[in-house]
Amino acid sequence: MRGLGSGEIELTHEAFHRRQPWRAAAHLRDLVMTCGLLPFVDKQVGLFERWLGEQLAGITKPDHAQLVRRFATWDV
């Protein structure tokens, strides 16, 4: 809260996505969305994006990481 008030943390979904501990940041983002200060995004999608980033970071071959990223973010 202090970081938001001082401008140290931007009021964006991406800024909350990068914060640690992630559970506290996710809770605060939910509160901010409920107040209407950020547009609503699906919580499950956000959790999946965080998980995917962690999984992709562990893949050492760039071609494999790209393939997994394409599959995981494919939209019909």
What are the boundaries of each domain within the chain? 2-34, 43-72
Q: Is the pTM of this model over 0.75?
A: no
Full DSSP string of 15-72: HHHH-SSHHHHHHHHHHHHHTTSS----HHHHHHHHHHHHHHHT---HHHHHHHHHHH
pLDDT tens digits, residue range 19-75?
A: 889 889 889 999 999 999 999 988 888 889 889 999 999 999 999 999 999 999 987
